[in-house]
Structure 1
């Protein structure tokens, strides 16, 4: 919802905010207390320092508005600088855009404008170009951290980042594979070790709730599985428990692999493999939903558990999948899907030696996963 300020003493605070941090928020609160309300102008252009790390102007605008969504004294807008000269040129067209933002976000026609800035060089220029405005240099003690330091090491300064911006910097680890490979236990064990939140396989919850077996899931079921697996993991990434690292058991690609295995529009194949026959239109719609979902997912590591463990009957699994050749066929198909999704470079197969002390390799995979997290993300449990 867009806030429109009603007062006549209006504060203005602008910045790139890539990302916004607690120092910025403190400065905003200072400005708000000195005025009837504050306009936050998120500024930037294509290729700016935020855009270079995937924080586009649009994302920064949305995250900033989300940060202050419950504050009626703050209005958030954006200034796209792409078409004007870069700083320090371009002051005049930039100020014209800022004046448009002010007018759009205030109800009063005549206002007293106080502009809050974090850099000394801005004060003289603004006094020269807009002498009717009051310019306030923000107390640097309110800005104890810089966005540059955060961009260089976001996990070190995690608690300094404004919460909506944290999801951009979150390191997300997926653990995938065929059924009965120990994925769920591995996710839980790793999450406990790092003190991190985790998302479990939604399909297992869904099937237990509705008492539906693997081979009985139909197109409508998969619609729910795709949507809710994504939403469930997103909730953990966006949640307050996220300390910079999130683990997930299963994603849309794994769901897609099961769709491919159980759903087919070929009647003869359906009968020969006892699969569910669905209409071509339903399958196309599901595939479109998958394509849209995988584009929204962000994974830093994708651990694949190979099908080398004992296949356990949990009374929902399709026991025909216990056959070794079928498990490996499914495993290879899953790897192809990750490649097709452009995620092959994120895949790490947890291949380990079996020993008499660890006959199914559960502990060695746990250790290997920690080693790879340290190697790839420079994150350790110590």
Structure 2
């Protein structure tokens, strides 16, 4: 596994160093860092980040701190010539306050870089045989590399399909059917759960702040489910839809809620049609507004930038149409 400077596989070091862009950090990187951790008393991971990176450096640093908490993660502003090993060596010793005892890399530059600091170089899986993955491959097609990325990255890369619609238009049924067809996770509507608790407490008065509580919890559950998702996450409503429910119950706009909704994650919206009969389930109270709300959703979806599609017809027809649309969009679904 190791080349260059001869390093005994049993030899241990004091301070070990791993450096890279980690754009993004994948399981090959984790294998590299865990190898260093197994051989060193202390390991520092230096992330080289630029503001123009397609994935924010701070986010990558947070992911690594979560994935390898035993390592110390340091984020630096990458403004140096990546081919000038001497400059990197000098700066590295300044960042660390000393020279590392060993440098762990999977790259050919590691031997010279480590040598300039008087450190040992440990080459780890140069041929990518243990973990056949690269940051470039993940960025180009995260779905193909899904098995080589960990839950925090899955949360980032998972595509989010959001199903919205007025009361009793089949949003939950479609969410369940679509998730089953895609063999993935779906997120239920937290607002309904909240409404049931509110009804049980005999509280009929709504406050705008309650809608903020709803969207924050909905977003938290979405992010948690995205970590478990199989490439695509199906959401039964999101904060964009909650803006329409605030309009329904409060009759006014709410700037804080709209700002939160504008930043919500969504890749495509499906709007369920209002042509099916209304079914009372003991909680619904808006049959008289259902068609108006459907128009509100159409207007709001048209005004936002994400693609959206209206689904009508039977349960089977809606599912079939949704799957056809997703198949057509597939080539555009690469971050």
TM range (shorter): 0.7 to 0.9
Q: Would the aligned equivalents of 2:211 and 2:257 in 1 still touch at CA under 8 Å? A: no
Indicate the residue corresponding to 1:322 in structure 2: 287
Match of 1:346 among 307, 310, 315: 307
Distance change (3 Å), C-alpha of 1:101 and 1:328? farther
Indicate the residue corresponding to 1:196 in structure 2: 184
Q: Would the aligned equivalents of 1:253 and 1:334 in 2 still touch at CA under 8 Å? A: no
Residue 9 (structure 2) pairs with residue 44 (structure 1): no
Indicate the residue corresponding to 1:288 in structure 2: 256
Look up the SS of the partner of 1:120 in the other structure. Answer: coil
Indicate the residue corresponding to 1:157 in structure 2: 145
Residue 226 (structure 2) pairs with residue 226 (structure 1): no
Q: Which residues of 2 match residues 362-377 of structure 1 at below 5 A?
A: 362-377=315-330
Aligned-pair RMSD on alpha carbons? 2.6
Distance 1:214 1:322 in 2: 21
Indicate the residue corresponding to 1:22 in structure 2: 27
Structure 1 residue 364, shift from structure 2 partner: 0.7
Distance 1:378 1:102 in 2: 44
Q: How many residues align?
A: 318
Indicate the residue corresponding to 2:236 in structure 1: 249
Distance 2:299 2:193 in 1: 27
Residue 203 (structure 2) pairs with residue 235 (structure 1): no
Distance 1:93 1:289 in 2: 48
Distance 1:264 1:76 in 2: 48
Distance 1:147 1:8 in 2: 28
Distance 1:313 1:214 in 2: 20
Structure 1 residue 119, shift from structure 2 partner: 1.3
Match of 1:261 among 235, 248, 256: 248
Distance 1:77 1:200 in 2: 38
Look up the SS of the partner of 1:311 in the other structure. Answer: coil
Q: Would the aligned equivalents of 1:191 and 1:197 in 2 still touch at CA under 8 Å? A: yes
Match of 2:299 among 327, 336, 348: 336
Structure 1 residue 336, shift from structure 2 partner: 3.3
Residue 311 (structure 2) pairs with residue 306 (structure 1): no
Distance change (3 Å), C-alpha of 1:97 and 1:143? farther
Structure 1 residue 139, shift from structure 2 partner: 2.7
User: Structure 1-normalised TM-score?
Assistant: 0.76
Match of 1:77 among 74, 79, 88: 74
Residue 125 (structure 2) pairs with residue 139 (structure 1): yes
1:148-178 per-position Cα deviation (integer Å, ceiling 9, x unaligned): 2222221222121132122111111100111
1:197-245 per-position Cα deviation (integer Å, ceiling 9, x unaligned): 111111111122232699743334323222222222222113xx32211
User: Structure 2-normalised TM-score?
Assistant: 0.86
Q: Would the aligned equivalents of 2:104 and 2:124 in 1 still touch at CA under 8 Å? A: yes
Match of 1:166 among 154, 172, 176: 154
Structure 1 residue 317, shift from structure 2 partner: 1.4
Q: Would the aligned equivalents of 2:89 and 2:113 in 1 still touch at CA under 8 Å? A: no
Distance 1:184 1:378 in 2: 27
Distance 1:191 1:30 in 2: 38
Q: Would the aligned equivalents of 1:9 and 1:111 in 2 still touch at CA under 8 Å? A: no
Match of 1:102 among 93, 96, 104: 96
List structure 1 segments (4+ residues) > 4 angstroms apart after TM superposition: 212-216
Distance 2:251 2:265 in 1: 29
